[in-house]
């Protein structure tokens, strides 16, 4: 009996799979194995991991007893895939980095495919330093190779190659080839690095290959030209100055030209669709055409057909590598910006659209009042009642006539506010939002929003803002409708541009076409990261500068753009910014050019070249944001609880930084500049000074005030909200307002508190809430902003254009009073109709001031409740003036009987002639 039972057990075991213990189950754990040749894992190396289209996070390698856990491969990082952010994700991005982006191992983004199930629910993935491949087992034939290799090889001089190996070799084990022919060279090798000297200068038209005989076998490496892109020889050979790069379609045909000077071949691919097969389209090419190499490293092809509406890419071969990529000069694209679209703009202009039709609403930069807005924010909340199909889209910006509970919303709100320009956050194709998921309910809640500071296609409108991202013509036509609608309402459109870096690094189209040229590299060959996003562009190079100039001129001309705000402008060089300004001023002298005079990390650009605060004086037509007045008014943006003047701060540093903005960023007699950036008047002119207190970055002004005030002060937050920008709007310079600041906009964080970095937070955080504007208190703040904007536009004394004018006409007064910043603008400044204007900002308790004595009376036109040209109260000279807590007062005396300067806003200038105390008599005059 026992024997029979034993035989039955053996029989059962024989039919049970041997791998019973290896039954697959749902993947719950990811193990990332990483190998470095020098075993230097403890030098700060970690992993940046993110679910596809989701937010990234730092993942550290596993440790036990404070030591790194190692296996037979290298170090290991364990990731819980049941965590909410990874649950159900099929693709996970991975970057190996040193510290917080000090260095990256492999600049290209790589993605781990997560299967539905794996052995024991664990997914193992294997990586090797310097190898783009990944393996799903240690022996994966498609995985990385741990054997020794050449890490880098590049021309460091026109006759010199610098290289780095993973292991030391002797000279006989290394050889340099030119187009497959062995070169006679001399070498100097120190351990695993060295230099090879050629007997002649490099021939840019040929390919160079370094071969190394390691004990594990022969390895090869295509030598790059990274180190000599800045040489005069390279620029002389390949500096192309033509205006026909990209695809140009007309009724007489279509021409193509690509700058690819080191490429062995370039193939033009034509498609009927811009949608790849993986996204529901087709990968069938209607034509593949070998392009012809032409002058200055360009490749060309011309067709007799107008190919408008067709899609195209280039297949570029550099050395042993071939890539298909989109044209950097593409003017439109298919879904997700993968294929460029050939555009004949004459076929896409909306009815009534005319070129060079920017609104004629300023005579000088200081006439501008800039309003910063995100495309989605204006219309994403349910209190915007326009067409649902336009919500969060370009077309939503064009809708007029919307209201909510009696208040204007959308475009009508902007019109009512009275600003002259709207600066839209990036609306080029930024490639972060997945345009194939725009109708997915979950994606609309937590994936569709992004600020857009990761450029993909610089000359293409963003597809997620169009009503049809699959059709490249739609985004073009709809963006032109925005420009047209703004112009029709007297509003200039300013474009927020991000030429300082590319969203992708090694796998960006620029780098695939000419590796290493468009980006700055460090001495180790890694991408320089002054942007804080992984790379920075080399604007000082001839063809990078040309691209930036060509691109801004294209937008200004084709879309009637009225201004450009440069992100991280200090990463650009002065010469490039001046070239941009020169090109744009030739199109329209009133186009505004300004930017952030700082960077986002450590850059390899020499400080002497940077378009930053120190060198702003060398850029006469370029303005910059004034963070001195910003932090003086509300406190540091890097410390949420730190207050400034409006919260009651009285320190000299606070007062001096604000006064610097009040006078328009100039060297003003008696003003202590020791508390200002670099202890100098770095703006040099009011026309270059962008005064502001809040922007899309950091907390909204309202949230900052809540975070930086005591419980007792909270009752005055609305007054602080008004006073903060009363300072900006009565200062010399160019005022800049963050959308929603005029009705106390807040950004409540999903996790509680306030969101200070909402770049990819959902609409619920970022949207402008018109239901909040409709509340009595918020509506009163809006009315205040509207009034003071109108006052600034009516009075050129607030808008002087030179340092000499400001010095002649502005005086600070009541400087002995604590908590007061006050100043007069005299002499009918800038041909104003008011003789002397006095502005008094009180940041503290109720107080009384004695007005200057004299026969002439003072007329109060602005207090904490209202600002307008209507006289609230008249005071005799020498009378006592009462000022409430956190109140700004605006007074004037003297009134010109005959206006001497016509207005520049709207079709007429409204000029008071005066019957004091009896209201205001007005006349209308034609605009000159």
Residues labelled catalytic: 567, 596
Is 246 within 8 Å of 330 (Cβ atoms)? yes
In a 10 Å sphere around its CB, with 0-12 CB exposed, 13-18 middle and 19+ buried, how is residue 617 labelled?
middle
Burial letters 378-417, b for 16+ CB under 10 A, else e? bbbbebbebeeebbbbbbbbbbeebbbeebbbbbbbbeeb
Instruction: List CB contacts of 39: < 8 A, sequence separation 6 or more.
Output: none
The 10 Å Cβ neighbour count of residue 248 is 18
Question: CA 492 to CA 420: how far, in whole Å?
Answer: 6
- Residues in a beta bridge with 118: 25
Question: CA 687 to CA 666: how far, in whole Å?
Answer: 10
Q: Which two tokens stand for residue 363?
A: 């005579």
What Å distances lie between residue 914 and 28, 813, 879, 897, CA to CA?
78, 27, 22, 8
Compute, in degrees rounded to 10, the torsion defined by CA atoms 460, 465, 470, 473. Answer: -50
- Residues in a beta bridge with 194: 163, 189
- Overall size of the chain counted in residues: 928
Is 273 within 8 Å of 311 (Cβ atoms)? yes
Question: CA 404 to CA 769: how far, in whole Å?
Answer: 10
Query: Which of 559, 589, 584 is CA-nearest to residue 459?
Result: 559
Question: CA 673 to CA 628: how far, in whole Å?
Answer: 11
Question: CA 196 to CA 182: how far, in whole Å?
Answer: 13
| Count of alpha carbons within 13 angstroms of residue 629, beta-carbon side | 35
In a 10 Å sphere around its CB, with 0-12 CB exposed, 13-18 middle and 19+ buried, how is residue 200 labelled?
exposed
Question: What would the DSSP string read from start to end of 139-195?
Answer: T-TTS---S--EEEEEEEETTEEEEEESS---GGGEEEEETTEEPPEEEEEETTEEE
In whole angstroms, what separates CA 343 from the centre of its chain? 26
Query: Which of 334, 278, 287 is CA-nearest to residue 314?
Result: 287
* Residue whose token pair is 């009042």: 369
Query: Which of 646, 689, 654, 662 is CA-nearest to residue 824?
Result: 662
Instruction: List CB contacts of 254: < 8 A, sequence separation 6 or more.
Output: 247, 248, 302, 303, 305, 306, 307, 308, 342
What are the backbone angles phi and psi of residue 870, rounded to the nearest 5°? -75, 135
| Count of alpha carbons within 13 angstroms of residue 573, beta-carbon side | 18
The 10 Å Cβ neighbour count of residue 249 is 24
In a 10 Å sphere around its CB, with 0-12 CB exposed, 13-18 middle and 19+ buried, how is residue 854 labelled?
exposed
Question: CA 320 to CA 569: how far, in whole Å?
Answer: 36
What are the start-end ranges of the H helices in 16-123? none
Question: CA 288 to CA 308: how far, in whole Å?
Answer: 17
In a 10 Å sphere around its CB, with 0-12 CB exposed, 13-18 middle and 19+ buried, how is residue 108 labelled?
middle
CA angle at 393 for the pair 87 and 772, rounded to the nearest 5°: 85
């Amino acid at each position: 009996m026992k024997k029979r039972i034993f035989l039955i057990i053996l029989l059962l075991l024989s039919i049970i799979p041997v791998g019973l213990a290896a039954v697959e189950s749902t993947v719950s754990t990811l193990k990332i194995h990483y190998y470095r040749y020098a075993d230097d894992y403890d030098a700060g190396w970690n992993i940046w991991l993110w679910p596809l289209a989701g937010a990234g996070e730092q993942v550290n390698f596993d440790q036990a007893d404070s030591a790194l856990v190692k296996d037979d491969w290298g170090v290991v990082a364990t990731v819980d895939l049941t965590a909410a952010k990874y649950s159900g994700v099929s693709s996970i991005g991975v970057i190996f980095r040193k510290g917080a982006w000090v260095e990256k191992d492999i600049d290209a983004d790589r993605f781990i495919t997560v299967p539905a199930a794996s052995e024991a629910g664990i997914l193992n993935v294997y990586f090797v330093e310097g190898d783009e491949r990944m393996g799903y087992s240690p022996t994966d034939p498609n995985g990385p190779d741990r054997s020794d290799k050449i890490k880098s090889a590049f021309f460091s001089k026109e006759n010199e190659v610098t290289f780095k190996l993973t292991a030391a070799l002797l000279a006989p084990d290394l050889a340099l080839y030119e187009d497959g022919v062995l070169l006679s060279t001399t070498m100097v090798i120190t351990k695993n690095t060295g230099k090879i000297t050629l007997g002649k200068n490099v021939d840019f038209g040929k390919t160079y290959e370094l071969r190394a005989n390691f004990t594990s076998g022969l390895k090869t490496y295509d030598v790059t030209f990274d180190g000599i892109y800045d040489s005069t020889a390279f620029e002389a050979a390949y500096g192309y100055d033509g205006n026909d790069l990209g695809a140009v379609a007309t009724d007489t045909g279509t021409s193509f030209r690509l700058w690819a000077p080191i490429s062995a071949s370039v193939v033009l691919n034509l498609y009927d669709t811009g949608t790849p097969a993986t996204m529901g389209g087709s990968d069938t090419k209607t034509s593949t055409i070998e392009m012809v190499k032409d002058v200055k490293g360009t490749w060309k092809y011309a067709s007799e057909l107008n190919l408008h509406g067709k899609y195209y890419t280039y297949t570029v071969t550099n050395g042993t590598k071939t890539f298909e990529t989109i044209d950097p000069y593409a003017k439109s694209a298919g879904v997700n910006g993968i294929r460029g679209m050939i555009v004949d703009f004459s076929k896409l202009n909306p009815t009534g659209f005319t070129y060079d039709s920017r609104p004629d609403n300023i005579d000088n930069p200081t006439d501008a009042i800039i309003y910063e807005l995100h495309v989605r924010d204006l219309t994403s909340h349910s209190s915007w009642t326009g067409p649902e199909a336009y919500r969060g889209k370009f077309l939503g910006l064009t809708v007029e006539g919307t209201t909510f509970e009696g208040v204007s919303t959308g475009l009508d709100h902007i019109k009512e506010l009275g600003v002259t320009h709207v600066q839209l956050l990036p609306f080029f194709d930024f490639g972060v939002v997945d345009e194939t998921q725009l109708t997915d309910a979950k994606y609309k809640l937590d994936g569709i929003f992004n600020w857009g500071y990761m450029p993909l296609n610089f000359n293409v409108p963003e597809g997620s803002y169009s009503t049809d991202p699959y059709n490249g013509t739609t985004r073009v036509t709809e963006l032109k409708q925005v420009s047209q609608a703004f112009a029709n309402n007297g509003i200039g459109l300013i474009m927020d541009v991000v030429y300082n870096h590319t969203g992708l690094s090694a796998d960006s189209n620029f780098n695939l076409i000419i590796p290493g040229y468009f980006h700055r590299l460090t001495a180790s060959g890694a991408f320089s990261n002054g942007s804080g996003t992984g790379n920075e562009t080399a604007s000082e190079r001839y063809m990078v500068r040309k691209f930036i100039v060509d691109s801004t001129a294209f937008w200004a001309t084709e879309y009637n753009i009225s201004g450009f705000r440069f992100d991280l402008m200090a990463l650009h060089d002065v010469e490039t910014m001046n070239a941009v300004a020169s090109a744009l001023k030739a199109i329209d002298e009133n186009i505004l050019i300004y930017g952030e005079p700082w960077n986002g990390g450590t850059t390899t650009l020499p400080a002497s070249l940077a378009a930053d605060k120190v060198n702003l004086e060398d850029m006469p037509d370029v303005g910059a944001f004034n963070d001195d007045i910003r932090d003086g008014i509300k406190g540091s943006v890097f410390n949420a609880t730190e207050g400034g003047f409006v919260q009651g701060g009285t320190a000299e540093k606070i007062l001096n930084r604000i006064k610097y903005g009040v006078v328009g960023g100039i060297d003003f007699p008696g003003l202590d500049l020791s508390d200002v950036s670099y202890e100098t008047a770095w703006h040099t002119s009011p026309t270059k000074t962008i005064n502001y207190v809040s922007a899309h970055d950091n907390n909204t002004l309202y949230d900052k005030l809540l975070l930086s005030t005591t419980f007792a002060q909270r009752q005055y937050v609305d007054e602080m909200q008004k006073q903060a920008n009363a300072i900006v709007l009565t200062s010399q310079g160019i005022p800049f307002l963050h959308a929603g600041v005029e009705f106390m906009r807040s950004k409540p964080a999903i996790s509680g508190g306030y969101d200070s970095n909402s770049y990819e937070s959902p609409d619920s955080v970022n949207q402008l809430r018109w239901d909040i504007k409709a509340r009595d208190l918020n509506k009163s703040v809006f009315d205040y902003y509207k009034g003071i904007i109108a006052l600034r536009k009516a009075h050129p004394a607030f808008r002087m254009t030179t340092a000499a004018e400001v010095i002649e006409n502005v005086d600070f007064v009541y400087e002995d009073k604590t908590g007061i910043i006050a100043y007069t603008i005299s002499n009918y400044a800038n041909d104003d109709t008011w003789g002397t204007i006095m502005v008094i900002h009180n940041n503290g308790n109720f107080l009384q001031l004695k007005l200057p004595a004299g026969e002439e009376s003072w007329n109060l036109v602005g207090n904490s409740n209202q600002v307008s040209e209507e006289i609230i109260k008249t005071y005799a000279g020498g009378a006592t003036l009462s000022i409430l807590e956190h109140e700004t007062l605006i007074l004037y005396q003297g009134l010109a009987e005959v206006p001497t300067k016509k207005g520049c806003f709207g079709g007429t200038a409204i000029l008071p002639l005066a019957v004091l105390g009896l209201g205001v008599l007005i006349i209308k005059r034609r605009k000159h």
